[in-house]
Structure 1
């Protein structure tokens, strides 16, 4: 019996924030995968090494966590006032699907550097030295992201002294502006607060009636109070991920929250929409020891936040969830804002399992409705490897 040989596809393996992913130029993908559909999904799953019943992704580029099972497709933008279009695919580790329902805020930091280095940005817009301002169209959620990418001697500067908790080594800072993060993205739920309330009572079978802030900003997110589900907000990954009962509880909360937000029409749909919404629990500041051994003092943070991604507690914080945190913190009366002490604020520093992160948001109220013009945070990005990724012929 004969077998088709492997095919090779130009690709770049990059870290962005606290995530890693395989980046492609749209034009480099095989013709069948240049448009959305089954062929594209099958190809990306095989690149990452999914679905893998062992949960290890040994035969692919994935790292067997939600933070490392990611793919990105970038192309020149046809939209006015934008440089590139960015499409993010969250690849399920053990199930045969790619979730296209949301963005990855961490990998957003790598899109500008990738686009510049791969000739996708008009050279006239890229200074030899200084800061390149890259206008990114986030195609999953129809949003604009502005990336400020440092340049040195005509090349993207990747090294530097910017430290990001959750990333071991320092690198160059990339500031991101998520424009109008809470406007309707057409993905169900519509408004920043899909129910019209800053706090809802969410009835969850087997858990009870939980106070929840349901917000669509950066990424749809369900915020609940840590003490309402028996936690303090100082938990680390193993405290949650080693407890199957806890994970099942969070998934039940997520499914019922998704239904309440209008993101799904039946609870069963939550199983194939794992990337969104996120579930996060918040608490007032408290001292704890981060996963790296670093001491985080209560006086150095405004609140505690822990968030789950793809069914597991995240090792740090998803970038898009950080946007949701910053947005909710800026609006008096949300659970996030109350955990941070209440009142009006333009930025918060929150504690997560790997340390702390500061995120800002510009919010204003008009006629009883809140709008957010942008959320701002800093990440870093670096090329880890570039060349070709190979997949067996007949994969897609």
Structure 2
């Protein structure tokens, strides 16, 4: 299939991200041709993405490719693709739990899954890792409902809740086998509850963890330390050379300031997230539940219950996580997100002759077996 002149597309906000959702059959089967097309759809490489759908930030330059699943435990397959903003790169090295929130509604809208009379649960296989998730959302009278009273930090107003539950990940919760490691001279906890994350005490890097993302991004010394830490942690976690990729995430931990469990600042890879990713927060919450981790003495966990409130620059994200530290393994992870359909129609990619000849796809697929 050659790259089409026009493509059916649904633009959706999923959680605190925004992306273009496609049926797999509407895109080229060849990954290189597909990625080149997505660069032209999003308007990359260009820091403003002025000639495409992208919003000039990694959180608004994302794509979901969805199809019916052959896995008996799933209804649909979801491939997440991060489209770089100012470089010609498309990567499948990570999942995105925010864009995931829109996959269930999209699957119903496009007829991949029938809607229930009151609510619908869609079983989703995340092709980036092979892991599963179940999204449940309201479908009164067999139609997806987007309005509601659920509020999430980083998104104005309210919307219908999308409850996303994650079965235990297939890979180890502690990729290095240790609850603490010394990486680039800093004590960290490397954890993977759906997203490889390195937990780092903010004070260990000379910041207090309450700075704005812009302030942290302007700190050249901090950026250098983050790069060195990511490079070493990537090898230690079995991810290989992570230069040019977005995993592992680095999350700085600080005492909570607004009644939550912990304050965070997350880097992707050296740009500071304006909130926090769903799967990243799931990994942070699980890491805080591990005795002996670097979160001890920083986090303030509730005395009862599974909920961990993860504070971030624009609010908080609640994660219900149950950990058996003796194994260690996560028994349950669930979050509440929201999603909204922005438009459904046809997108016209930038002409191929003005686009880069080949999309650069940093690294290979990040899968469970490799972790």
TM-score (norm 1): 0.84
* Counterpart check, 1:61 vs 2:19: no
Q: Could you say which residue in structure 1 is the equivalent of 2:11?
A: 13
Q: Could you say which residue in structure 2 is the equivalent of 1:127?
A: 116
Residue 222 of structure 1: how far off its partner (Å): 0.6
Decide which moves more: 161-170 or 136-145. Answer: 161-170
1:107 match: secondary structure: helix
- After TM superposition, list the pairs within 5 Å mapping 1:170-185 onto structure 2: 170-181=158-169, 183-184=170-171
1:336 match: secondary structure: coil
**Cα distance in 2, alignment partners of residues 172 and 201 from structure 1:** 43
Q: Could you say which residue in structure 1 is the equivalent of 2:284?
A: 325
Q: Could you say which residue in structure 2 is the equivalent of 1:358?
A: 318
Which structure has more strand as a fraction of its residues? 1
Residue 170 of structure 1: how far off its partner (Å): 1.1
Match of 1:346 among 306, 314, 321: 306
2:98 match: secondary structure: coil
Runs of 4+ in 1 over 3 A off after TM superposition: 341-345, 393-396
Residue 329 of structure 1: how far off its partner (Å): 2.1
2:208 match: secondary structure: coil
1:281 match: secondary structure: strand
**Cα distance in 2, alignment partners of residues 211 and 345 from structure 1:** 28
Q: What 5-or-longer segments of structure 2 have no aligned partner?
A: 358-371
**Cα distance in 1, alignment partners of residues 4 and 111 from structure 2:** 27
1:165 match: secondary structure: coil
Deviations 1:337-356 (A, max 9, x none): 54224788622112110011
**Cα distance in 2, alignment partners of residues 393 and 233 from structure 1:** 44
2:111 match: secondary structure: coil
Residue 6 of structure 1: how far off its partner (Å): 7.8
Q: Could you say which residue in structure 2 is the equivalent of 1:188?
A: none
Residue 248 of structure 1: how far off its partner (Å): 3.2
- After TM superposition, list the pairs within 5 Å mapping 1:223-262 onto structure 2: 223-262=199-238
Match of 1:278 among 238, 249, 270: 249
- After TM superposition, list the pairs within 5 Å mapping 1:88-99 onto structure 2: 88-99=80-91
Q: Could you say which residue in structure 1 is the equivalent of 2:332?
A: 374
Q: Tell me if the contact between 2:10 and 2:341 (Cα under 8 Å) persists in the aligned partners.
A: yes
Q: 1:216 and 1:233, CA in 2 relative to 1: closer, same or farther beyond 3 A? A: same
* Counterpart check, 1:213 vs 2:184: no
* Counterpart check, 1:307 vs 2:266: yes
Residue 249 of structure 1: how far off its partner (Å): 2.6
**Cα distance in 2, alignment partners of residues 174 and 154 from structure 1:** 16
Q: Could you say which residue in structure 1 is the equivalent of 2:175?
A: 194
Q: Tell me if the contact between 2:97 and 2:277 (Cα under 8 Å) persists in the aligned partners.
A: yes
Q: How many residues align?
A: 351
Q: Could you say which residue in structure 2 is the equivalent of 1:294?
A: none
Q: Tell me if the contact between 1:76 and 1:84 (Cα under 8 Å) persists in the aligned partners.
A: yes
Alignment RMSD: 1.9
2:6 match: secondary structure: strand
Q: Tell me if the contact between 2:40 and 2:352 (Cα under 8 Å) persists in the aligned partners.
A: no
